[in-house]
Structure 1
């Protein structure tokens, strides 16, 4: 539904009397929505590492199958900026709420179809082609989801707590990882390996349809954010919000993308590629690695909220830069443990790797969202956030597989992680810290 000027005035009046209730609902809806989206996304990540090479690329060697599977994984990341542009336009034109309902439906339906998709042995080459198409749909949905979920909470609550409020969308990642990876872990532990590989892995994908129904009920009860309703009431919406964001805030978009490198790229190595490396190189069970990732996600869940709240007190950049530096410092020790350590050390390393990620991912929502004016925030923040997916998150497992195969040493991957930390440190240093700026006034951002 398009939000007109009269409707916007009505929304603003209702928001004044219901603000406390709406703030709670917005925070909850933000967390629940991203949890469902990332649950679906991480299910695919886990299946791409453990199931898809044999199911959809059975004629390939182990190395080629992993490369092909991670290539379909990367496709979803390449589609994210497209989703950010499409839904950024509508999010800054008709509102955050309506746009988020559409992204949730897209993600849930695509995941449900993955759960019933036959393998290559049944329908031949059509199987991987359909898989890639579904991954594209998932990527477009995720691309439009993030900024809307962040803004839903940020634009409703106390502006002195933007870091904490924005992080409610971020906790959807570890919660989704816990649910998605937890479901796979439980099934892989309870079912015989043959049953898990043939049909057990499909159950969590089908369960996503139930989660989507819950998410829709919650999101439909939320009013439009006061900041965007005020923009509509004052007739200040942009006719071409994405184009205007690129034209007037290209610097912020590029820096937002760059600051994500040391957060996103290592994260997908540590939660997806590690499943292949530890199982293949050391012979540990899938359940062992999944349990380590699961505990790490649970630890990160608590730390995201804490570091986000800390960023409200001491500034986003200070917390974020600390996390980026730690990511670079831990890169070589991490892979040294994976290569030479025993079971206990490897388990601890996987869990500890989540800490510097939490230091960055928690404050990140506010750090990026604060960099754009209200009428361009959905598209601008979304483009900045999702562009990193093309260069950092998406290619990471693919490049890591290639680096290990080419060099024969995991330390080449460590160097790759250090490079990502350097990019992030430079970009964060160049981005203005608006932790305490008034983001309700577009004049703050006008040139």
Structure 2
């Protein structure tokens, strides 16, 4: 490409030690970013309504708080596009460091933000602005973390490597909720409502420093170094993605819809619904969410191993079928208000989403050539996230307020599960191969049947 620096020798293959460092940095860094993202969701369920959106009607405050939660998802595609562009132009590593600084800075700032009683309308305005910054950060995070892992992976372990950033999500759920469990048990309810809720946000500052240190130690991926060495860096990756791989982006976004929807219903919406409508103790729900996330962490790892052995498509198909079928039994069990039955509902749902999440990262990354892979992967994933996950708590809250029943929410979730099921049945998944070989000099056809 004009203006592209060309190097004569491609990078050597990564060593086992380099691969271990990459896996550690991908998992821990992603877990901390998701910790930041999920503590906002927990706070939106428990505290942001009265703190930033005071109203005589608690449901109105909850809806407003969940609307700010959704703002993060509106920002995520923007972050994916911008960081995907520069990730394909200047490298994956630099964008991962920027995404972490954006996310960590916004999270700490939320912990210091005065509430509505202190500064009036500026409080919710600033909260929305900081949530938007969080969304920009996490929008660029997923694609970069996945590519750091997948582009370092040997061909026969590509799915397993790609699963490490995926396991960062339940790890973030576990960490964020454990912190909230500790904080709510230490502080009296009045103290927690006054300032104790800020502690999890401020703790993010120390966690971000750890993740930044780990990521600075990791070298740029072999795929990007080889693309740069051959002069294959794309000048307009977004334009190329949409022109040559538009169908793939749409289908890859569709397969990514169901997972986040079920995930945010379980980890965010049920904190509000369970306490306010079912009368379940907040601490009990937090403990159930943590236990479910432990199941998800383990099952994503197992699903990735199975996908490397038996193929990504059949494992993903099984997961999509499970979540579509489970949409109604899920709320039937939750509505019993029995902790044991709620845990059963969580486990089956999370096993289904894990069967999708395990192969998802490597599968989407393999759909795009290396020179546009950051852009293609990020845009596809964020499309699924905003359409599936970003508005799920808000939609579920609105449906319950309108109909007084969880049946409409079950229908909504079942439809999303069927969309992912149909999309994966339509998408042609490339067979296992060294992902480094897929550069602009060897462009793939749009893998859509």
Indicate the TM-score class for this superposition, using the shorter chain for normalisation: over 0.9
1:55 is aligned to 51
1:441 is aligned to 438
> Pick from 88, 100, 109: which aligns with 2:96?
100
1:140 is aligned to 136
Cα distance in 1 for residues equivalent to 2:20 and 2:244: 33
Give CA deviations for 1:345-389 in whole Å, capped at 9, x if unaligned: 223323443211111111110111111110000000100000122
Say if 2:359 is the partner of 1:363.
Answer: yes
Cα distance in 1 for residues equivalent to 2:108 and 2:77: 23
1:157 Cα deviation (Å)?
A: 1.8
1:390 Cα deviation (Å)?
A: 2.3
Task: Give the SS at the match of 1:273.
Answer: helix
2:39 is aligned to 43
Say if 2:182 is the partner of 1:183.
Answer: no
Task: Give the SS at the match of 1:171.
Answer: helix
Task: Give the SS at the match of 2:277.
Answer: helix
Aligned pair count reads: 441
2:350 is aligned to 354
Aligned pairs for 1:302-317 (under 5 A) are 302-317=298-313
Task: Give the SS at the match of 1:79.
Answer: helix
Give CA deviations for 1:398-422 in whole Å, capped at 9, x if unaligned: 1101111111111111111110011
Cα distance in 2 for residues equivalent to 1:215 and 1:60: 42
Structure 2, unpaired ranges of 5+: none
Cα distance in 2 for residues equivalent to 1:341 and 1:116: 36
Say if 2:83 is the partner of 1:83.
Answer: no
1:163 is aligned to 159
2:197 is aligned to 201
Say if 2:70 is the partner of 1:69.
Answer: no
Give CA deviations for 1:53-107 in whole Å, capped at 9, x if unaligned: 0100113511111110010000100111100100001100001111111111110
1:32 is aligned to 28
**Larger mean Cα displacement after TM superposition, 349-358 or 92-101:** 349-358
1:291 is aligned to 287
Cα distance in 1 for residues equivalent to 2:425 and 2:434: 21
Q: TM-score, normalised by structure 2?
A: 0.95
Give CA deviations for 1:315-365 in whole Å, capped at 9, x if unaligned: 111111111111011111111112234232223323443211111111110
1:4 Cα deviation (Å)?
A: 4.4
Over 3 Å counting, the alpha-carbon distance change for 1:115 and 1:158 in structure 2 is same
Q: TM-score, normalised by structure 1?
A: 0.96
Give the superposed CA RMSD.
1.6
Cα distance in 2 for residues equivalent to 1:86 and 1:137: 13
Give CA deviations for 1:231-283 in whole Å, capped at 9, x if unaligned: 00000111001111111111111111100122111111111001111101121
1:5 is aligned to 6
Contact residue 115 and residue 123 of structure 2 kept, 8 A: yes
Give CA deviations for 1:419-444 in whole Å, capped at 9, x if unaligned: 00110011101111224244323325
Over 3 Å counting, the alpha-carbon distance change for 1:40 and 1:225 in structure 2 is same
Give CA deviations for 1:266-312 in whole Å, capped at 9, x if unaligned: 11111100111110112111111000000100111111111011101
Say if 2:331 is the partner of 1:335.
Answer: yes
1:182 Cα deviation (Å)?
A: 0.9
Contact residue 4 and residue 233 of structure 2 kept, 8 A: no
Task: Give the SS at the match of 1:282.
Answer: coil
Cα distance in 2 for residues equivalent to 1:287 and 1:118: 26
Task: Give the SS at the match of 1:224.
Answer: coil
**Larger mean Cα displacement after TM superposition, 178-187 or 331-340:** 331-340
1:189 Cα deviation (Å)?
A: 2.1
Cα distance in 2 for residues equivalent to 1:343 and 1:308: 29
Contact residue 237 and residue 371 of structure 2 kept, 8 A: yes
Contact residue 316 and residue 359 of structure 2 kept, 8 A: yes
Cα distance in 2 for residues equivalent to 1:428 and 1:348: 27
1:201 Cα deviation (Å)?
A: 1.4
Contact residue 304 and residue 358 of structure 2 kept, 8 A: yes
1:126 is aligned to 122
Cα distance in 2 for residues equivalent to 1:193 and 1:359: 39
Cα distance in 2 for residues equivalent to 1:343 and 1:140: 36
Say if 2:411 is the partner of 1:415.
Answer: yes
Over 3 Å counting, the alpha-carbon distance change for 1:306 and 1:49 in structure 2 is same
Contact residue 315 and residue 433 of structure 1 kept, 8 A: no
> Pick from 378, 381, 384: which aligns with 2:377?
381
Cα distance in 2 for residues equivalent to 1:326 and 1:347: 16
2:428 is aligned to 432
